Structure 1
Amino acid sequence: MAGSSDTRTSVPAPQASGTPLTDPRPLRLRGASLLRRALPALGLFAAVRALGLAVLAVWAGAEGRSPHQLLSGRWDSLWYTDIAAHGYHWAGYQATTHTRGAGAHSHLAFFPLLPWLERGLNTLTGLSYADAGLLVSALASLFATLGVFAVGERIAGRRAATLLVLLWAALPIGVLESMAYTESLFTALAAWCLFAVLRRGWLTAGLLAALAGLTRPSAAAVIAAVWVGVAVTLWRREDRRVRAVLGALLAPVGLLAYAGWVGGLSAYLDVQSRWGNGFDFGAAYARFVGHELTTNPGAGVGLLAFVAVVVWALVAFVRQRQPLPVLAYAAVVVALSLGAQAYFNSKPRLLLPGFPLLLPLAAWLATVRVRRVAVAMALVVVASAAYGAIWLLGPGPP
């Protein structure tokens, strides 16, 4: 019922989207139909990102800085372009260093798919590696937007799917979708993998999960989605069980292949530990929040609110009885983000691919009057654009 506060009834079952598990139309026609339905969402995404880039350009220009350099030559993007230009530097994985003088850290902490794409574009077009990274991110963000819409439409309907895209684009950390980072590429692979799982396209899902495993270690969440979907299929004795098993076997190939190439799981974990990364079930993050509460109560309360919002979104997702593979993906993204022993302020970035967590809010907004939603989202979009500029122009992630 419109205006109801009970979000458990505001999201239709997956079958309510009108898209059957199997569609007899040719793939070309199905893709064209999806693209037509997603055009408003794609337009909103482009508008949000254009505003963010415009604010960044004006703000950076006022400070005499280059927005191009901020988007393509800060933090992790330097490592990716260095790998694209020179490859991985083997001096034993413990001694591999960054050629730009970033300290004795290993290149092997960075997965190869984005550098491969940057090098391929450089070879084909002559673009610099930095510009190739920006182009990959721009194209991947559009494919990610279409994939996010496809998943959202299948689960919650077209209007909620459009709002889901808008919310994802307007996240405070959304500027990463325009940077030479892996966020857009990984989200695109994850979203389309989830869509394939929901449609029982097991070989496609396995292949996309394998590619995600060459992009980021958080591909574990994508692999979990495939495995849960396959487990449900086998439990219910549905059709395509042989393909389901093949998809499940294919899903972890990329992640395992890269870890094996580094030297095995122990070598890969050692590389990550030298970066200060690991998994401690959130113990380090809890200590950090506790320290902030005692030394900077405002920041500490903000951190608690951030965790509470993430947990609320996950609980709401469970209460809505969303498809188990998508729930598994969202849960593992949350676990890897909040439970990681990593740079504390990077956690919002790690959560960026967790777009299903926005579905409860998108579903609720779909029941609210359009004018009210437009006003609220306009404020959110402006705030996101300002935050992105502050984040990139500052000394580090705020």
Structure 2
Amino acid sequence: MTEGQDAADSGGRIARLLHSLTVQSLLILLATRLLLFGANWFTLGILPRLPLYPAQLPDTFLPGTRWLDGWARWDTSHYVTIALHGYGGEGNLSHDGGLGFFPLFPLLMRGLVTLTGLEPTEGRLAAAAIAIACLCITVAVPAFAQLVHRRFGPDVARTAVILLCVSPFSYFFSAGYSESLFLMLIVLAFTFADRRWWIAAALIAALATSSRLAGLALPPALLLLAWRRGASIRDLIGISLISPIGAAAFVGYTSWRFDDPLAYFHAQQHWGGWREHVGDYLTLFTQHPREALLGDPRNQIIVLNVALLVLWLASLPWVWRLLDPGIALFTTLIVVAHGIMTWVSLGRYLLPAIGFYIVAALLLTRPGWREWPRDITIAGSTVVLTMLTILFAHGFWTI
């Protein structure tokens, strides 16, 4: 074979590789992460981080590693102290010994550090949290692309991936938070369900219910999808029994260890209830709109959260009309439940409502929308995402 033929074959392989939807989705993810990691690295070098808020745990775990340090803020501290000391352990600084957080993510953090053979420290656990988040989003994005592609084709899949990766709060997918783990489990559960692998989907759902309370939206969604697709009674029973095991195990553990099956909810009360998370802001927006828009910058984060809620709610009729009933029900439960319960942290709570990205991609790939409307949407969201990422890295309340 001549050098020319070798070069042609090599060029053909590269071209085929670049035409792969999996590779394209990973390149989209890589491009957005490089932008965000670069923005954090640069701004942390020229601007000091903000002082801690009164209720904020210390979260400067990696001061000597600037490109990582900004990704271990806020709730990462709670995961680190749980992974280091256990629930209720001596030295655990989190409210109620960390019982306000589900166990899967800190367990994985501790497990990853243990696998290295190194002594668990706060810095190593924070680095493990970031590594797990990045690994999970690396799995979730191409899996999401393939899930969308199976029904709507590559153009819609690519656009949905872009919208997911530049969603204003998608920096949490690279931070030391459980968001990317939860998203990965959701996408894998629906991927297996799409192939009618019901028990595998239920097992993944069990992991999801051990990572976030919102995982409990997955069992009814899988049941509806399985029923609509003619699954057997055995599979329906299997989904019903297996899917909630993660949450049930956590309740069982807190009941046995702390004599409190509702320990998670009691711990969550330290962050306030409906009045603090919705009612007070509703009063502010209706009676003092100028203060909401131009006053305390933290109020503007809530305004953004509510604006995103309106977008997600507006998408629900199309989600039910265009998507399978499982994804539609899951998306609806995530959006409506969180929208009713809290406007604080709402931007990141909406992230796993994957039906929105699909219907938005369907809209933005239509003739007349695929040019400047799509470009403006993506560019504008990227700008907001970058700004929020920088604020988060410097300790501002964007959570």
Q: Say whether the fold is shared (TM-score over 0.5).
A: yes
Shift of 1:58: 0.9
Aligned mate of 1:289, from 279, 282, 285: 282
Q: How far, CA to CA, are the matches of 2:115 and 2:303 in structure 1?
A: 50
Q: How far, CA to CA, are the matches of 1:218 and 1:124 in structure 2?
A: 29
Aligned mate of 1:40, from 24, 28, 36: 24
Can you list the C-alpha shifts for 1:49-87, whole angstroms capped at 9, x where unaligned?
Answer: 110111111111111454522212x21111111121221
Shift of 1:180: 0.9
Amino acid at match of 1:255: A
Amino acid at match of 2:103: P
Structure 1 partner of 2:248: 256
Amino acid at match of 2:169: I
Q: Does 1:171 align with 2:172?
A: no
Aligned mate of 1:242, from 221, 224, 234: 234
Aligned with 2:219: secondary structure?
A: helix
1:1-398 equivalences in 2 (<5 Å)? 36-64=20-48, 66-72=66-72, 74-89=73-88, 99-100=92-93, 104-126=95-117, 128-233=124-229, 238=230, 240-263=232-255, 265-276=261-272, 285-297=278-290, 298=293, 305-318=307-320, 320-340=321-341, 342=342, 344-368=343-367, 372=372, 373-374=374-375, 376-397=377-398
Judging changes above 3 Å, is the alpha-carbon distance between structure 1 residues 126 and 180 closer, same or farther for their aligned structure 2 residues? farther
Shift of 1:284: 5.4
Structure 1 partner of 2:3: none
Amino acid at match of 1:331: T
Equivalent pair of 1:164/1:358 in contact (CA under 8 Å): yes
| Matched-pair identity in % | 24
Structure 1 gaps of 5+ residues are 1-32, 91-96
Q: How far, CA to CA, are the matches of 1:120 and 1:316 in structure 2?
A: 41
Equivalent pair of 2:192/2:201 in contact (CA under 8 Å): yes
Judging changes above 3 Å, is the alpha-carbon distance between structure 1 residues 221 and 98 closer, same or farther for their aligned structure 2 residues? farther
Q: When the two structures are superposed, what TM-score results if normalisation uses the length of structure 1? A: 0.79
Q: How far, CA to CA, are the matches of 2:263 and 2:306 in structure 1?
A: 34
Equivalent pair of 1:345/1:397 in contact (CA under 8 Å): no
Judging changes above 3 Å, is the alpha-carbon distance between structure 1 residues 283 and 397 closer, same or farther for their aligned structure 2 residues? closer
Aligned with 1:80: secondary structure?
A: helix
Q: How far, CA to CA, are the matches of 1:324 and 1:366 in structure 2?
A: 22
Equivalent pair of 2:182/2:211 in contact (CA under 8 Å): yes
* 109-118 or 261-270, larger mean C-alpha shift: 261-270
Amino acid at match of 1:335: V
Amino acid at match of 1:152: V
Can you list the C-alpha shifts for 1:272-319, whole angstroms capped at 9, x where unaligned?
Answer: 223335xx6x9952552232232234358766543321211112212x
Amino acid at match of 1:380: S
* 158-167 or 256-265, larger mean C-alpha shift: 256-265
Amino acid at match of 1:129: L
Q: How far, CA to CA, are the matches of 2:394 and 2:375 in structure 1?
A: 29
Judging changes above 3 Å, is the alpha-carbon distance between structure 1 residues 107 and 303 closer, same or farther for their aligned structure 2 residues? closer
Judging changes above 3 Å, is the alpha-carbon distance between structure 1 residues 265 and 334 closer, same or farther for their aligned structure 2 residues? farther
Amino acid at match of 1:43: L
Shift of 1:390: 2.1
Q: How far, CA to CA, are the matches of 2:196 and 2:240 in structure 1?
A: 12
Judging changes above 3 Å, is the alpha-carbon distance between structure 1 residues 321 and 382 closer, same or farther for their aligned structure 2 residues? closer
Equivalent pair of 1:289/1:304 in contact (CA under 8 Å): no
Shift of 1:327: 0.6
Equivalent pair of 1:228/1:324 in contact (CA under 8 Å): yes
Judging changes above 3 Å, is the alpha-carbon distance between structure 1 residues 120 and 283 closer, same or farther for their aligned structure 2 residues? closer
Q: How far, CA to CA, are the matches of 1:301 and 1:120 in structure 2?
A: 38
Amino acid at match of 2:317: V
Q: RCO greater where, 1 or 2, for CA within 8 Å and sep 6 or more?
A: 1
Shift of 1:132: 1.1
Equivalent pair of 2:226/2:236 in contact (CA under 8 Å): yes
Shift of 1:387: 2.4
Q: How far, CA to CA, are the matches of 2:29 and 2:251 in structure 1?
A: 35
Q: How far, CA to CA, are the matches of 1:273 and 1:382 in structure 2?
A: 34
Equivalent pair of 1:177/1:184 in contact (CA under 8 Å): yes
Structure 2 partner of 1:23: none
Q: How far, CA to CA, are the matches of 1:276 and 1:148 in structure 2?
A: 34
Q: How far, CA to CA, are the matches of 2:317 and 2:388 in structure 1?
A: 27
Judging changes above 3 Å, is the alpha-carbon distance between structure 1 residues 172 and 242 closer, same or farther for their aligned structure 2 residues? same
Can you list the C-alpha shifts for 1:234-293, whole angstroms capped at 9, x where unaligned?
Answer: xxxx3544233212311011111111211164333323223335xx6x995255223223
Amino acid at match of 2:253: W
Amino acid at match of 2:99: L
Q: When the two structures are superposed, what TM-score results if normalisation uses the length of structure 2? A: 0.79
Judging changes above 3 Å, is the alpha-carbon distance between structure 1 residues 286 and 311 closer, same or farther for their aligned structure 2 residues? farther
What is the count of residue pairs matched by the alignment? 346
Q: How far, CA to CA, are the matches of 2:237 and 2:244 in structure 1?
A: 12
